[in-house]
Amino acid sequence: MKDVIKALFIDFDGTLFSHAQHDFPDSAIEAIDQARANGILVFLCTGRAKSEFKQFDLSRLNVDGMVLCNGQIVLDSRGNILYENPISGNLKQRILDIYINKKQPIYLANNEELILNFENETIRRVQNAVSSHIPPVKEYHGENFYMASAFYDNEDELAFLNSMKDEAEVTYWHAGAVDIVQKGGCKSNGIIKTLEILDIPLKETIGFGDGDNDIDMLKHCGIGVAMGNAPDFVKEAADYVTDDIDNDGLYKAFKHFKLI
């Protein structure tokens, strides 16, 4: 008997939100609304933090919750925290050393905002490419943070990651930026916690994504769907490849799997 799909986990940038259109494709919103009307739960599953969504018009987007910061925070539809995994221990200290000494641009994601150590052309270039504002430059005052994002112009600038390899999970989300979270933390970790709360079997889920930080989600969910605009190494991790985001890829995948 074929498994009934009960929950969908959808990446934001390049999967649901088009940076070419600077908006959600109408067909993607329609697909999500129809799936939810059919009793399927829909969750954003993204590397972004909650505060970043203030810069987007989400009035058309209705979801049942959010898996944020690459799985380090899970929120319900009202914004209540269901699960959190802040960075701690040696990894926290190593990140703060870079932040405080301004060795290179890096921002910290807490539950309320992103804070940046300093601004330069590198971070301006990357943030502009993903339709994002520059986080405010602020001092760190001891609050929990769940993810750090470092910006670079060449790979040599990432040499500091060698000292973190036993304590961190690192994913590339742009040519010029990496996300850093606690070892063992990734999108699939947040998905596991969400499904435990909802008592939904993993085999009854589908994950949709297009980037490096989506690979573990695509492999972990019952079915992994890569967007047509994803690079080949991401497509290879998926069970199914749909069309590009700007050619109704999400809607077509929903149709293919009879979610709508």
Q: In this structure, what token pair is assigned to residue 80?
A: 């209540």
What pLDDT, in 10s, does the model give residues 47-68? 999 988 988 999 999 999 999 9
Confidence bin at 1 (pLDDT 50/70/90): very low
pLDDT of residue 2: 64
Give me the helices (H) in the chain, please. 26-37, 89-101, 121-129, 187-198, 215-220, 232-235, 249-256
SS3 for 145? coil
Q: Is the pTM of this model over 0.85?
A: yes
The closest alpha carbon to 76, from 56, 50, 53, belongs to: 50
Residues 14 and 28 sit within 8 Å (Cβ to Cβ): no
Q: What are the chain's domains?
A: 7-85+185-256 (3.40.50.1000), 89-182 (3.30.1240.10)
| DSSP β-ladder status, 240-241 and 223-226 | parallel
